[in-house]
A and B are shown apart, each in its own frame.
Chain A
Amino acid sequence: MHRGALAALVVVAGCDNLTGFDGEITPLVTMRVQATGDFESVRVPNALDEDLQVAVVWGTQWLPEPLCFVPPESPEVATTVAAGCRNPLSFTPVQVTSGVPLSPTAPTDLSLYELPAADLLFGSVTARVAYASLVIYDDRDHSGTLELARAHRQPTRGFDQEEDVPTNDIVYGASFVAMTEPDSRLAYREGTFVETGYFPRHGCGQPLPAFSILTAGGFSILDAVVATQNNMLPSQDPATCSEAKPEDTIVKIPLRPTAQVREVGCEQRRLDSSVRYREPPEMSPDLTMRPFACAKIPSLSGDMTSNSQIQLVIGTGPDETCKGITHYTLLGCDEGKLECDHPEWDYRATPPDWWPCPQAAQ
């Protein structure tokens, strides 16, 4: 009797389904996203049959090149800088997760199935954080993800051409466009929180452990400059700050003209403010609709040396997806440097016919 009861107990106890590696994968976090505004009013002309999606785009630190923040030496340089330099406090994307179709009328659930990798986290292993922008885009190529674009560079001679990333995807909105605007960002935090210059929210509360949705009102470039001079972080208005669990909030993303938000989809070739100077080509680069200027090599207060060359700088055209500046010099070195023992090219004696600049500063 007892043996039979024991056998029956074993059989009855073991009646669950074994799932193994199959079955639905549990998301690590799910956010609710809702687009606001009228899409038709911001639609790019002739971009019909839209495939609107929303994706998580992780950000990285980025420093603008010196030409973009030193006072311009001429109106032509100012025009070129305006056309080729992005907002120095822009959100800078580095990695995109797969997108999900965006419902135009109701909140859309956006789930993450993997944590940001270690190279996306800023800080030490005991206190690190990553921030992401939730980006609405028209997936024109139906790839299911947002392809990050790069600024187009004018042709060069000597180096291999840098690859431009062709993308037709159109960004129509983002929860985090720049630190100069109000933002809602996805935060992922491990360990304790240490305030740094990585998309700072000085004056706001700390990100919650693991995932959270943070908001902040933003600060002006002037505030950032003044704070930097005082060796501080620019402050946010505490009234604009919030920290919430992703499941407790709906992230509202206004639809905007793509010209206002497309830099969210532009990855940067260099993150450390360094410049790659290029060898001028034999034929003139295409300067149609692209502002250009002759400019000195910017010298900052901490630089040990200064260079007397005059460079040709070319900005991007109004229809190009990403902003960027191409730098040409008559003398240059491998890897785009200006100073070396054996220059890679030297056209000071025989500049190209189209070269519009003087050879050296007067």
Chain B
Amino acid sequence: MARRLLVLTSLLIARTAAAEGPTLATDSFEYHSGGTVLVDGGLVLGFPTALPTGMSKGIGAGVTFGDCPLRWGARAAWVTATESTRAWMVTNSDLRLRVTGSAQHDEGRGSFGVRLGLGGTLVHETRTRNQGARAGRTGSELETSALAMVPAGDLEAVVGLHLLGPWLLTVSGGPSLAVVDGSLHTSWTAQLGVAWQP
């Protein structure tokens, strides 16, 4: 009985709302744009810089200066990936540091651009011998680590959507290149986050 009343009530509410028509207008959430500084951060996904397989996950943040259409800035991201073979479990932690330049076009609430980032990725690699602990291995027979700074660059498409006041929803992604042990390593990166543009 109670369930039927609930369903009936839901239908009445829906009819009332339909009768009143749409109340959400474009300017219901006011926003402002045009600031010369934009700070953003969010979740980062991508291919590991040095591993041949896997998915890196982590966080990233950046700051952008300048007026439309050309801007410059700096970005940093920290992502990790762990993958295994029968012999090894390898964890790569990448600290991506980039200086960026971007071309941007604003259209209404939207902001569309292309961002080029150049810099380096500090890769911390931990290799653990699978089954090594059970076999009584210790020290370097069980685990090794390495740290390497590799030159890298990203080319990303960037889309921003002004939501409310100075706040934006940002999505970016694109190919990434790194030179690992003398060879070119291609990958991709993407970020979903929010930005603040006072």
Within 8 A of A (CB), among B104-161: 120, 122-123, 125, 127, 129, 131-132, 134-137, 141, 144, 146-150
Chain A residues closer than 8 Å to B120, beta-carbon distance: 10-11
Q: Is the CB of A19 within 8 A of B135?
A: no
Q: Binding site of B, secondary structure by majority: helix, strand, loop or mixed? A: strand
Q: Is the CB of B129 within 8 A of A17?
A: no
Total residue contacts A-B, CB cutoff 8 A = 76
Q: A19 to B52, alpha carbons, bound, how many Å?
A: 11
Q: Is the CB of A211 within 8 A of B149?
A: no
Interface window among A24-32, A42-50, A142-150, A315-323:
A24-32
List the B residue with the shortest CB-CB distance to A190: B134
B181 at the interface (CB under 8 A from A): yes
Q: Is the CB of B149 within 8 A of A15?
A: yes
List the A residue with the shortest CB-CB distance to B127: A19
Q: A11 to B148, alpha carbons, bound, how many Å?
A: 8
Selected from B83, B125, B137, B141, the residue in CB contact (under 8 A) with A18 is B125
Given A18-B125, A20-B51, A114-B131, A211:B136 Cβ within 8 A: yes
Q: Is the CB of B50 within 8 A of A28?
A: no
B15 at the interface (CB under 8 A from A): no
Chain B residues closer than 8 Å to A40, beta-carbon distance: none
Selected from A10, A14, A21, A210, the residue in CB contact (under 8 A) with B52 is A21
A13 at the interface (CB under 8 A from B): yes
Q: A10 to B96, alpha carbons, bound, how many Å?
A: 12
List the B residue with the shortest CB-CB distance to A15: B148
Q: A13 to B145, alpha carbons, bound, how many Å?
A: 13
B55 at the interface (CB under 8 A from A): no
Interface centre among A16, A19, A21 (most CB of B within 10 A): A21
Chain B residues closer than 8 Å to A10, beta-carbon distance: 120, 122, 149
Given A14-B123, A115-B134, A21:B90 Cβ within 8 A: yes
Selected from A13, A17, A18, A115, the residue in CB contact (under 8 A) with B135 is A115
Chain A residues closer than 8 Å to B125, beta-carbon distance: 16, 18-20
Chain B residues closer than 8 Å to A343, beta-carbon distance: none
Chain A residues closer than 8 Å to B141, beta-carbon distance: 26
Distance in Å: Cβ of A123 to nearest Cβ of chain B: 15
A354 at the interface (CB under 8 A from B): no
Chain B residues closer than 8 Å to A11, beta-carbon distance: 120, 149
Chain A residues closer than 8 Å to B150, beta-carbon distance: 14
A209 at the interface (CB under 8 A from B): yes
Q: A16 to B52, alpha carbons, bound, how many Å?
A: 18
Chain B residues closer than 8 Å to A21, beta-carbon distance: 51-52, 83, 85, 87-88, 90
Selected from A14, A113, A210, the residue in CB contact (under 8 A) with B87 is A113
Q: A162 to B23, alpha carbons, bound, how many Å?
A: 80
Distance in Å: Cβ of B54 to nearest Cβ of chain A: 10
Q: Is the CB of A13 within 8 A of B134?
A: no
Q: A114 to B181, alpha carbons, bound, how many Å?
A: 29
Distance in Å: Cβ of B151 to nearest Cβ of chain A: 10
Q: Is the CB of B135 within 8 A of A14?
A: no
B86 at the interface (CB under 8 A from A): yes
Distance in Å: Cβ of A222 to nearest Cβ of chain B: 38
Chain B residues closer than 8 Å to A209, beta-carbon distance: 136
A173-214 interface bits toward B, Cβ cutoff 8 Å, 1 = contact, 0 = none: 000000000000000001000000000000000000111000
Within 8 A of A (CB), among B22-54: 50-52
Distance in Å: Cβ of B80 to nearest Cβ of chain A: 14
B68 at the interface (CB under 8 A from A): no
Chain A residues closer than 8 Å to B180, beta-carbon distance: 18
Distance in Å: Cβ of B66 to nearest Cβ of chain A: 21
List the A residue with the shortest CB-CB distance to B129: A26
Q: Is the CB of B147 within 8 A of A16?
A: yes
Selected from B86, B134, B181, the residue in CB contact (under 8 A) with A210 is B134
Selected from B90, B129, B135, B149, the residue in CB contact (under 8 A) with A20 is B90
Chain A residues closer than 8 Å to B83, beta-carbon distance: 21
Q: A13 to B180, alpha carbons, bound, how many Å?
A: 16
Q: Is the CB of A18 within 8 A of B88?
A: no
Q: A16 to B124, alpha carbons, bound, how many Å?
A: 9
Q: 25 interchain pairs (CB within 8 A)?
A: A10-B122, A14-B123, A14-B147, A14-B148, A14-B149, A15-B147, A16-B125, A16-B146, A16-B148, A17-B146, A17-B148, A17-B181, A18-B125, A18-B148, A20-B50, A20-B125, A25-B87, A25-B129, A26-B87, A28-B135, A113-B87, A115-B135, A190-B134, A209-B136, A210-B134
A residues near B (Cβ < 8 Å) are 10-11, 13-21, 25-26, 28-29, 113-115, 190, 209-211
What are the 6 tightest A-B residue pairs by CB atom distance, in nearest-first order? A210-B136, A14-B149, A16-B146, A28-B135, A25-B87, A14-B147
